[in-house]
Amino acid sequence: QVRLVESGGGSVQAGGSLRLSCVASGDTYRTNSMGWVRQAPGKQREVVAAIGSDDSTGYEDSVKGRFTISRDKAENTLYLEMNNLRPEDTAMYYCAADEGRLKAAYFLVSGRFRSWGQGTQVTVSS
């Protein structure tokens, strides 16, 4: 079992930036592929960024050019750098992981991660 703990959420004004972090512990071999998934009230969950076991990356269209996913394998930490934030980015952001050795594109489309964190809230005001 792997434990995922997110941090870095908060409240910012439109145009601002936040950096989310996710630290994995336990069975970290289950984090070959990882991603950030968000869910806003009344909306479906969506994968905003993913990083595959081959370090390929993928982004949901609305965040391309604004969000950057990266990870430090030595520190078992996943990051999401979010710039030029918009009110529509407001959501609970979840760190997710899977032991599958797959490209980011698979997870971007399927959202089929087997491990999930508790989430960190991001609120963007206009």
pLDDT 10s digits, 64-97: 999 999 999 999 999 999 999 999 999 999 999 9
Q: What's the whole-number mean pLDDT along residues 86-109?
A: 96
Q: Is the pLDDT of residue 105 over 90?
A: yes
Contact 4, 116 (CB under 8 A): yes
Q: What's the whole-number mean pLDDT along residues 30-43?
A: 95
- CA gap 93, 54 in Å, rounded: 23
Q: Please provide the average confidence, as pLDDT, over all residues in the chain.
A: 96
Q: Is the pLDDT of residue 51 over 90?
A: yes
SS (H, E, C) 96-122: EEECCCCCHHHHHHHCCCCEECCCEEE
pLDDT class of 29 with cuts at 50, 70, 90: confident
